[in-house]
A and B are shown apart, each in its own frame.
Chain A
Amino acid sequence: MKTPFSMLITVAWRNLWRNHRRSLIMLAAITIGLWGMIWMTALMRGMVDQMIDDAISTLSGHIQIHAPGYLDDPSIEHLIADVSDNPALEALLYSPQVTAWSQRIRVPAVIRSERDVYGVTLVGINPPREQGLSFIADSVVDGKYLQSVDDQHVLLGRKLAEQLETKLGRRIVLMSQDPDNNIAERGFRIGGIYDTDLQATETRFVFAGIETVRKLLKMGSGVSEISLLGHDYRHIDGLASEVRAVAGNAQTSTWMQLDPYMASMLDVMDGFILVWFSIIFLALSFGLINTLLMAVFERTREIGLIQALGMPPGNILFMVLVESVIMLLIGLLAGNLLSWLTILPIRDGIDISAVAQGLEWAGMSSILLPAVKVSDVLLANAIVLVLGVAASLFPAWRASRKVPVEAITRIWQ
């Protein structure tokens, strides 16, 4: 480049501040535009992340192994062997790729109190193994969590306890069907009440120790499912393949296959972010183009003068682009700062309980946690910068073609 870069920077910087008000308005637009991109995306991403986390922690895990046919008929008839009977699978479950895993028995059941009767899913769990895998270990708010696989108590959801008009310490009766299709029923004392963000979960699941459930159902060592967690819910296909390879005839499913609605939310979210970014940028680009065109129009004489003095057209174009880039960079800096300052106070979540009940159908919880993804922030910055420069090309090109006589005659006359 013929023209020294330092000179272009100096001239562009000083030109930027010739019309303070216009530049500040444009900077405010860039700042608020970027802030809108990052802040809204963080909330939307947080909402979807939380919905998926909730879905995953509501017993599904990242990957589940079932007997063939279980997903269509989740009954006691479709069981898989205990993991101790499959050394290859057991080795994989204890490998570093798997952060938590557990075996469960899940059967449809009926729960009865002295007041009411409801249909539920009875889940027999290995209590220590559920730590870090599902919500239940951390959700008991009244009483205590199950102590062992043969704990004789059951855990009920807060809402279910309300519906049954029962409470901690009272007895309920659980009734289900054993492998021989006979009715199995037994009374249990309520050892704990759990509370979750989703009432549907509280009314659906009743937890008991896995050995206790086996005894109730007079069954052997089989289990309904093995649930496990990898490291990242977005990238579990590789781990699923490895599980599938050692799971024998059992059916291996990812959370995306088990809950396609939630999986589609991820794709919808990615699409939404792009659409959202595009809308904000479109609004921004009109302002940017207008500002630069005005700046170029006002400086027609000056641009003619600079060209008369020997600055090549390409450098004029570059000078206007530098002006735009400086403005964009300052705006991006301010936008990132504003985003950080506004997300920091809500990093522990926003309570939306006033509307959470209405949104529960979508699996949303009452606390909305913002999720700032570096890739989203980089994408927002890149879109504003790259498309901002692209939007500036037209005014810059017009400036570089200004030599034709109208610019010059304004100087001479």
Chain B
Amino acid sequence: MNSSAVSCRRVSKVFAQGELAVHALSSIDLEIASGGFVCLSGPSGSGKTTLLNMIGGLDRPSGGEITVAGQRIDRMSMADLAELRLQHIGFVFQAYNLIPVLSARENVEFVMQLQGVPATERRERAMAILADVGLQGMEDRRPGALSGGQQQRVAVARAIVSKPALILADEPTANLDSVTAEKLMQLMRDLNAQIGTTFVISTHDKLMMSYAKRLLKLHDGRIIDDIVQHDRQHD
């Protein structure tokens, strides 16, 4: 049996909007096993992004407990959370993914540099992963000189280059054409299959959902459906 990559116990998040309290998450109980490939789906405002924020340690829950990579993160200091993200979590955001003053290669090297990977190894790994995502020859371009799809592939390359145990992605295919999106999904699925990286992906994309081993449907801050999928087409 796989160990738990993410564990949420009665996690809630309340935002204050003036005098109103908005319950973005309500008592979420969730267990995601290592090696899982989980998609979060649901309408806008259902709590997908908030849940990803909580799991990634980017925001603190109003209540409940969150454990990631065996560590309670809901009461961690900002510095400890940064260290946890650096060592265990990769992020792929929907937009504004890259540091604009760094080239594609430097963006991919950024996390490895924070991790203290030696320069030569860093460079080799960055070049190899950029080639894997089809960006050979574009390594020295800055984000402004790359298309949206190319930027997204750089972001994915950066997220996976250090082989984190957990990758959190928010609408990773939202800005991509269907061919690029499918290649990206296949890349993530391969990574999941080959080295057991756990993926938690927020998406509206039905094709993306079809790649998931497990589909969680959210509505009004609650998980209303938890579906385990067996998609032989992609396996």
Within 8 A of B (CB), among A296-321: 301-302, 304-314
B49 — which chain A residues lie within 8 A by C-beta? 409, 412-413
In the complex, whether A403 has a CB less than 8 A from a CB of chain B is: yes
For residue B10, give the distance in angstroms from its CB to the closest CB of chain A.
20
- The answer to whether A405 and B53 have CB atoms under 8 Å apart is yes
In the complex, whether B131 has a CB less than 8 A from a CB of chain A is: no
Among A2-10, A120-128, A280-288, the stretch that binds chain B is A2-10
A14 CA / B52 CA spacing, docked (Å): 31
Kindly identify which residue among B79, B85, B113 contacts A4, using a CB–CB cutoff of 8 Å: B113
- The answer to whether B100 and A302 have CB atoms under 8 Å apart is yes
**Contact status of A412 and B113, CB under 8 A, knowing A14-B101, A305-B96, A403-B58:** no
**Does more than half of chain A's interface fall in helix, strand or loop, or is it mixed?**
helix
For residue A142, give the distance in angstroms from its CB to the closest CB of chain B.
72
- The answer to whether A405 and B82 have CB atoms under 8 Å apart is no
A301 — which chain B residues lie within 8 A by C-beta? 96
B100 — which chain A residues lie within 8 A by C-beta? 18, 302
A403 — which chain B residues lie within 8 A by C-beta? 58, 78
Among B78, B79, B83, B95, residue most surrounded by chain A Cβ atoms (within 10 Å): B78
In the complex, whether B150 has a CB less than 8 A from a CB of chain A is: no
In the complex, whether A23 has a CB less than 8 A from a CB of chain B is: no
- The answer to whether B101 and A305 have CB atoms under 8 Å apart is no
Chain B minimum-CB-distance residue to A408: B58
> Interface residue count for B (Cβ, 8 Å)?
32
- The answer to whether A314 and B79 have CB atoms under 8 Å apart is yes
For residue B103, give the distance in angstroms from its CB to the closest CB of chain A.
10
A18 CA / B101 CA spacing, docked (Å): 8
- The answer to whether A306 and B99 have CB atoms under 8 Å apart is yes
- The answer to whether B94 and A310 have CB atoms under 8 Å apart is no
In the complex, whether B102 has a CB less than 8 A from a CB of chain A is: yes
Band of interface residues on A: 20 to 34
Chain B minimum-CB-distance residue to A404: B59
**Contact status of A310 and B111, CB under 8 A, knowing A302-B96, A302-B99, A409-B49:** yes
Within 8 A of B (CB), among A392-407: 403-405
Task: Name B's A-contacting residues (CB within 8 A).
Answer: 49, 52-53, 56, 58-59, 78-79, 82-83, 85-87, 91, 93-97, 99-102, 106, 110-111, 113-116, 158, 170
- Listed by A's residue number, 19 A-B pairs whose Cβ atoms lie within 8 Å are A2-B83, A3-B113, A4-B116, A7-B110, A7-B114, A10-B102, A11-B102, A14-B102, A306-B99, A307-B78, A308-B56, A308-B58, A309-B110, A309-B158, A312-B79, A312-B82, A405-B58, A411-B96, A413-B49
Q: A-B pairs with the 10 shortest C-beta distances?
A: A310-B86, A14-B101, A408-B58, A312-B82, A310-B85, A312-B79, A412-B49, A405-B59, A411-B93, A301-B96
Known: A309-B86, A408-B59. 12 other contacts (CB 8 A): A4-B116, A15-B101, A18-B101, A302-B96, A304-B58, A309-B110, A309-B114, A310-B85, A311-B82, A404-B59, A405-B58, A409-B49
